[in-house]
Structure 1
Amino acid sequence: MGRRVAVVGAGMTRFVRRSLETGKELAWEAARTALDAAGLTIDDIDAVCIGTAPDAFDGVHMKGEYLADGAGGWNKPVIRSYVGGGTGVFCAVQGWYHVASGMFDRVLVVAEEKMSSTMPHPQGAFLTIFDHITERPLEPNLLWIFALEMNRYMTAYGIEKADIARVAVKNKRNAAGHPAAQLGQADITVEDVLASEVLAWPVQRLDVSPVSDGAVAVVMAAEDVANRTCDKPVWVEGVGWNLDTAYWTNRDLAYPAYVERAARMAYDMAGITEPRREIDIVEPYDPFDYKELHHLEGLQLFGKGKAPEAARDGVLDRDGDLPSCPSGGLLGV
């Protein structure tokens, strides 16, 4: 595992549709806030890890190089990663292994996205990620591909749409008190979600996280540095990652095996043998409401097809037995 690593500072911008701030400025705002929280300056940082969406989203070629100075990478080693929707998580993992390996003592990790720049809609940029012979002629977009997966998940396990909608309600209510949130809504109901516009059945507008601009940053440090820097370092006990095939037709749409493989890697590193008993809180990736449930099952916190029951029974609420996305997640923030 290498050296022990901790998070000693964090920063976040507001998440809104922005018209003035550039991606570079968003990265700077988050980085500065994280450094201030850690009581450090950019001169204390040894390297910078950047996570950001495809260049086409901002209309900026070589996006990593463009963001580098705004993210604090001037005259420092910089690396940019992009692994689709998991980029925010993988960027932090990248920061971890740069410190754990012994290469650096302090690393600034910055994740940024500015989707509102793409005209007429970011879905246009996504068309280029599909196979140019077997998929692109169908003009796919992520909405209807996720709709296929959601439909498969519901069909395989007999899941009611209302039970999935409860996730959107929970997260948007949780986000109502979040100072950085875009879509917090304290009074939203399941009926509101079920009555919202159908985008690609069974996906409806309130099942989906919004197009958003924003950035987050964390400062990660080796154990000896962390103990000198922070009274309460947040220790990284385990990390895991796994990439499934880019060909959707080759995936098991009912169950995210890639999440299970990543989870088992992290659990093994942390010495966790009974996740449901040992994990107290969870923040799964939730670009769609069903994906939170999908991922909870992949994380081995519930059996296959059982996470919707937990949502229905209040287990995932802030005051439940296993709070899930108490911040509001992507659906609310």
Structure 2
Amino acid sequence: MRHPHRNALGALLPLALAAGLVHAAGAGPRDAIGTTASTATTLTVAKDGTGQYTTVQAAVNAVPANNPSRVVIAVKPGTYRETVKVPSNKPHVTLQGTGGSRTDTVIVYNNASGTPKPDGSGTYGTSGSATVAVEADDFQARNLSITNDFDEKANQSLSGHQAVALRTAADKVFLDGVIVTGDQDTLLLDTAAKDRLGRVYMSNSYVLGNVDFIFGRATAVIDRSVITLRKRWDGSSAGYVTAPSTAAGRKGILIANSTVNGDVSNGSFYLGRPWHAGGDASLDPQATVRNTTLSAAIKAAPWTDMSGFSWRDDRFAEYRNTGPGAGTASADRPQLTDAQAADQEVTDWLGDWTPAAS
């Protein structure tokens, strides 16, 4: 399904510029798809006690189970060092930073896959390491940052360095104007079950990481956003942007109208590789990168194999990318035809769902 080409990317965040992680062409316009929803219940969070709650999780806990309508959790500026989980029985929740910038409100923690649980029951595992975990449908987040600041260098003796900042396992997840930061496995876009649809739409946002840092089986769109490649803990440049684990018959990860950049070496990053989670050969991973500016960090052969599964047996393609990291069609660099691209638009991924700010 065709749609008009979206506006070019605008100016980047001062924080990201100062960190040297992004260039001067960056995040997209503030307009969102659809219309603004009607009045919602609002709960306020403030570290200094000026709100109803001092932690984000306390506000989530106050949302009634099976709530029928929108609840906005307005989070005042501050750094909230905590983990947050929105359980599946609390739909229609919005996390809204109230500061002037999405860097003003930060939710951060440092669990990793190999981090021991305090109760001695083992380690967190990759999915359990998330700073923010969303399991409820119709979730929204905007104008804030979600970070996993696990220190790989300081924890070399720890097995399992995957450290998720944000995990989604729900349908109709709208991420607008957020920053999601980590290193390995930053953004886990999952579904509630293999046979369940889980759509995610991210716009006007930033994702930072280095290894498989946009991954999972969701039907996910990253639109008009900036994907920033980060060096590894030892200062080296090497990594993978995506690792889709899409179920057969589903759409996977679509990156559109965006920018891929970062202060890393030329030709050091793959666009992606197929994640057959648990060795499941029935999966059919998909990643499409289109109408996106690619820095010289992207390899000339941008896709690679994973755990014995060949990317050539799955669904990986590009369309009309630009920049020094873009390339022409070849056996190592599949390009969509115009006809194929007409069926791989943002609206094809979202189906009957039109994300709207609420």
TMscore range, shorter length: under 0.3
Higher-helix-fraction structure: 1
- TM-score in terms of structure 1 length: 0.27
- TM-score in terms of structure 2 length: 0.26
Higher-strand-fraction structure: 2
The answer to which structure, 1 or 2, has the higher relative contact order (CA under 8 A, 6+ apart) is 1
